[in-house]
Copies of this chain bind each other. A is one copy, B any other.
Amino acid sequence: MRTRPLKVALLGCGVVGSEVARIMTTHADDLAARIGAPVELAGVAVRRPDRVRAGIDPALVTTDATALVKRGDIDVVVEVIGGIEPARTLITTAFEHGASVVSANKALLAQDGAALHAAAEEQGKDLYYEAAVAGAIPLIRPLRESLAGDKVNRVLGIVNGTTNFILDKMDSTGAGYQEALDEATALGYAEADPTADVEGFDAAAKAAILAGIAFHTRVRLDDVYREGMTEVTAADFASAKEMGCTIKLLAICERAADGESVTARVHPAMIPLTHPLASVRGAYNAVFVESDASGQLMFYGPGAGGAPTASAVLGDLVAVCRNRLSGTTGPGESAYAALRVSPMGEVVTRYHISLDVADKPGVLAQVATVFAEHGVSIDTVRQQGKDGEASLVVVTHRASDAALNGTVEALRKLDTVRGVASIMRVEGE
């Protein structure tokens, strides 16, 4: 075993960073044995150096992250700051000064992954980011390496723990969205401003990263259709139950039937209770992967939190250190397939639509005509009368999102349709 240690610079020392530092210290012997050389924390860049960090030598702490990544003797930079800047500049500077990088930064990878990979490759360095998607759950490595000899057709994932906690609570207690959100906030599962989670921005970044790797195609955050889950109601859950379904916020990356294009999207959807994703409880994450040869795989675990995310960071750190010792790099960006990324309108799926309609003869015929005119085939219709009004629940066969949108627009113009109470996609069948 080499005795000269590999030097690690840690950018950020919050929930994840402090766990990375702690494990590097407490498990130093194990890490050394697994890497083949000791690893040493050579510097920790933070914004507020006055906050005491248990177990970290104060002499290592600096506010000058740029100087740290420019030192030239750093083997690996671990970036757990998050956000676009200064993380992006620090990472490219690290490559220029000879370091490889391990990052947990989903937003940055989803937005600028291609440029960062190019910068790493230009300098012959590694860029690893298992922690950017679904915390501790091994996903990037299995998709990139274990399935390297297979053809992935679909990735269907619960990749945001906050929203899964809220939806699970609504499902199990009948609570409304706000009540469930309040509980998530009180328990620390949701942040004071939950926008990034509940509006699907966080999941969309992960969808972009997963789609890119799964399909060997560049998929940017802008390519991902995104719909949050703030409009999901207790009534939707009741409808889902009648269908033998529950509701999850899903990140869905799909190869089109012709194999020539792909889509990536995030939205709430009904999935059958028999689907393995339906039983993912609380803040857990799970990702379902369908491939030609391997069939259906599922990866399940804690999708966030300091220790789980640190576990993913450290797995990457060991790999990058090993690569460095053997003078090589791991797999870089694989975008050779360069498939077309289709807009949401081309996505084909099933829909569950609740309409409030006038309770009089002929309404069903009118509604059915609109569906037919737009080429959307109806699977089942259920009519329920309530206080002079009536509701009509339509479940369609598979149709394009564009055709469904056209249908809904036309339905809204019907005099007999008082309102479109909800539209929800049905997935995982």
Which A residues contact B (CB, under 8 angstroms)? 19, 23, 27, 30-31, 33-34, 130, 135-138, 141-142, 145-151, 216, 276, 279, 291-302, 305, 307-308, 310-319, 322-323, 326-329, 331, 334, 336-337
A148 interface neighbour in B142, B145, B299, B315, Cβ under 8 Å: B315
Decide: A318 near B148, CB < 8 A? Known: A298-B301, A300-B276. Answer: yes
In the complex, chain B residues whose CB is within 8 Å of the CB of A300: 276, 297-300
A331 interface neighbour in B138, B145, B147, B322, Cβ under 8 Å: B322
In the complex, chain B residues whose CB is within 8 Å of the CB of A150: 23, 136, 311, 314-315
Shortest CB distance A323–B (Å):
8
Copies in the complex: 2
In the complex, chain B residues whose CB is within 8 Å of the CB of A329: 326
In addition to A34-B336, A141-B146, A298-B301, 4 A-B residue pairs with Cβ atoms within 8 Å of each other are A138-B147, A148-B318, A295-B301, A295-B302
In the complex, chain B residues whose CB is within 8 Å of the CB of A328: 323, 326-328
Closest to A314 in B: B149
Q: A302 vs B296: C-alpha distance in the bound complex, in angstroms?
A: 7
Closest to A307 in B: B293
Shortest CB distance A304–B (Å):
11
In the complex, chain B residues whose CB is within 8 Å of the CB of A327: 328
Q: A315 vs B33: C-alpha distance in the bound complex, in angstroms?
A: 26
Q: What is the predominant secondary structure among interface residues of chain A facing chain B? A: mixed
In the complex, chain B residues whose CB is within 8 Å of the CB of A336: 33-34
Instruction: Name 25 interchain pairs, CB-CB below 8 A, sorted by A.
Output: A23-B150, A23-B293, A30-B151, A33-B337, A34-B148, A138-B297, A141-B141, A141-B145, A142-B146, A145-B318, A146-B315, A148-B319, A149-B310, A150-B314, A294-B301, A294-B311, A295-B301, A295-B305, A295-B307, A295-B308, A297-B299, A298-B299, A298-B300, A300-B300, A326-B328
Closest to A130 in B: B146
Asked if A148 and B314 make an inter-chain contact with CB atoms under 8 angstroms apart, the answer reads: yes
Decide: A301 near B311, CB < 8 A? Known: A141-B142, A149-B23. Answer: no
Asked if B23 and A334 make an inter-chain contact with CB atoms under 8 angstroms apart, the answer reads: no
- Most chain B Cβ neighbours within 10 Å, of A149, A292, A323: A149
Q: A281 vs B66: C-alpha distance in the bound complex, in angstroms?
A: 53
Shortest CB distance A284–B (Å):
8
In the complex, chain B residues whose CB is within 8 Å of the CB of A308: 293-295
Q: A279 vs B277: C-alpha distance in the bound complex, in angstroms?
A: 12
Shortest CB distance A290–B (Å):
10
Q: A318 vs B334: C-alpha distance in the bound complex, in angstroms?
A: 13
